[in-house]
């Protein structure tokens, strides 16, 4: 008589290693989003209502979303273009290996440098009495602020965002640039293609999904930025994160349920951006296999 196999009764421990990830996702991603959605459909008394989402169509909130979308788009575009050029120079430009290592290390640090320290660094650099501002005025006779530029304006914030957008682009575009095969360029040259034709007909079409995916990731990164804008402009610059902060923590505009609705709108926009990024990334990976 054969012994009874206990294979089916054994506990599969293979999933144990990912338990912390699932716990983190539930506690810090899924549960907060469900809490926001629940609060967005309630009034101050806890009754069900659509009033908070209807209030999102008010001119003030629509203007905040418009400003955030425009600022995020410009900051992502600047970061994508400049980061692509820097990444190309570092990865494919024939520079020594230590230069790439140095850029990668700096990018890893700079992409996470934001908030109050970043705002103070830019105030000390290109503020009204910043080091660069004073040097341009006293040495070169260029009054930066007389030209209409201001660190506390739309373009001033876009330049500030560029500090962490550019290194983030370098980090996430580097694998795509590494995936460019030398055989493609050699084949194009053998067939008589110029360098411009190689980039317009071969390299850029292959890199386009990766570039667009990186742009969407940069867009989502800029859209959720709060502390840097608040440290530079206070509450005078009405991007969506600041309007949300005013609704939840403010003394005058205190309406946390409207703030929850604002947050749900941000989650939808950032979720759509990240979903498109994942789709484009999977397409780029298929091209580069």
Quote the pLDDT of residue 180: 84
Q: Give the pLDDT confidence score for residue 67 in this predicted structure.
A: 92
Share above pLDDT 70 across residues of the chain, in percent, rounded to a whole number: 94
Among 30-39, 62-71, 108-117, the range scoring the smallest mean pLDDT is 108-117
Q: Retrieve residue 109's tokens.
A: 């640090």
Residue 95 CA to residue 74 CA, distance in Å, equals 30
56-94: pLDDT as tens digits: 999 989 999 999 999 999 999 999 999 999 999 988 887
- Residue 173: burial class (beta carbons within 10 Å; 0-12, 13-18, 19+): buried
Closest CA to 165 of 125, 225, 210: 225
Helices (H) and strands (E) in the chain, counts: 14, 0
Residue range 240-268: mean pLDDT, rounded: 84
pLDDT digit string (tens) for 216-247? 999 999 998 888 888 888 777 888 888 888 88
The residue that leads in pLDDT, 41 or 8, is: 41
**3-class DSSP state for residue 127?**
coil
Is residue 5 predicted with pLDDT exceeding 70? no
Residues 245 and 257: beta-carbon distance below 8 Å: no
Q: Cα separation of 268 and 271, whole Å?
A: 5
| pLDDT bucket at 250, cuts 50 / 70 / 90 | low
**Which residue do the tokens 């005013």 mark?**
246
Q: Of 4-8, 15-19, 253-257, 277-281, give the lowest mean pLDDT range.
A: 4-8
Give the CA radius of gyration of the chain: 24
pLDDT > 80? residue 17: yes
User: What's this model's pTM, rounded to 2 decimal places?
Assistant: 0.85
Cα 198 to Cα 216: distance, rounded to the nearest angstrom: 26
Closest CA to 258 of 9, 23, 43, 33: 43
Both structure tokens of 287: 């091209």
Average pLDDT over residues 3-32: 79
Phi, psi (5° rounding) for residue 48?
Answer: -70, 135
Predicted local distance difference test score (pLDDT) of residue 82: 94
Among the ranges 65-69, 196-200, 280-284, which has the highest mean pLDDT value?
Answer: 65-69
pLDDT at 14: 77
Q: Residue 147: pLDDT band by 50, 70, 90 thresholds? A: confident
Which positions ≥6 away from 262 have C-beta within 8 Å?
56, 61, 240, 243, 244, 247
> How far does Cα 91 stand from its chain's mean position?
22
Measured CA angle at 238 (ends 233, 241), to 5 deg:
95
Q: How far is it, in rounded angstroms, from Cα 101 to Cα 95? A: 11
**Domain limits, the chain:** 16-111+167-287
Question: 288 falls in which pLDDT band (50, 70, 90)?
Answer: low
- Find tokens 């502390």 and name the residue: 227
CA angle, corner 204, sides to 198 and 210, nearest 5?
150
> Domain 16-111+167-287: what homologous superfamily?
MetI-like (1.10.3720.10)
Whether residue 2 is predicted with pLDDT greater than 60 in this model: the reply is no
- The whole-number pLDDT of residue 226 equals 81
User: Are 222 and 165 contacting, i.e. CB atoms less than 8 angstroms apart?
Assistant: yes
Distance, CA of 82 to CA of 89 (rounded, Å): 11
Check if the beta carbon of residue 241 is closer than 8 Å to that of residue 224. Answer: yes
């Amino acid at each position: 008589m054969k012994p009874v196999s206990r294979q089916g009764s054994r506990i599969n421990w293979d999933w144990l290693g990912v338990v912390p990830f699932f716990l983190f996702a539930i506690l810090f991603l899924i549960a907060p989003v469900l809490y926001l959605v629940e609060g967005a459909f309630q009034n101050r008394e806890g009754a069900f209502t659509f009033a908070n989402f209807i209030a999102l169509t008010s001119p003030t909130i629509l203007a905040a979303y418009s400003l955030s979308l425009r600022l995020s788009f410009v900051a992502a575009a600047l970061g994508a273009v400049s980061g692509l050029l820097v990444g190309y120079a570092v990865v494919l430009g024939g520079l020594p290996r230590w230069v790439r290592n140095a850029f990668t290390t700096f990018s890893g640090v700079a992409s996470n440098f934001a908030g109050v320290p970043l705002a103070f660094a830019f105030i000390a650099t290109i503020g009204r009495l910043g080091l660069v501002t004073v040097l341009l005025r006293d040495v070169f006779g260029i009054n930066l602020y007389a030209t209409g530029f201001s660190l506390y304006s739309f373009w001033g914030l876009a330049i500030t965002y560029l500090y962490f957008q550019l290194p983030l682009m370098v980090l996430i575009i580097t694998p795509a640039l590494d995936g460019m095969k030398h055989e493609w360029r050699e084949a194009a040259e053998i067939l008589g293609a110029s360098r411009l034709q190689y980039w317009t007909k071969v390299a850029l079409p292959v890199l386009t999904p990766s570039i667009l995916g990186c742009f969407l990731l940069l867009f989502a990164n800029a859209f959720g930025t709060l502390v840097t804008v608040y440290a530079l402009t206070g509450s005078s610059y009405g991007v969506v994160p600041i309007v949300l902060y005013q609704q939840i923590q403010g003394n005058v505009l205190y309406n946390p349920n409207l703030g929850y609705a604002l947050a749900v709108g941000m989650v939808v926009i950032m979720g759509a951006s990240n979903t498109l990024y994942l789709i484009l990334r999977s397409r780029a990976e298929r091209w580069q296999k």
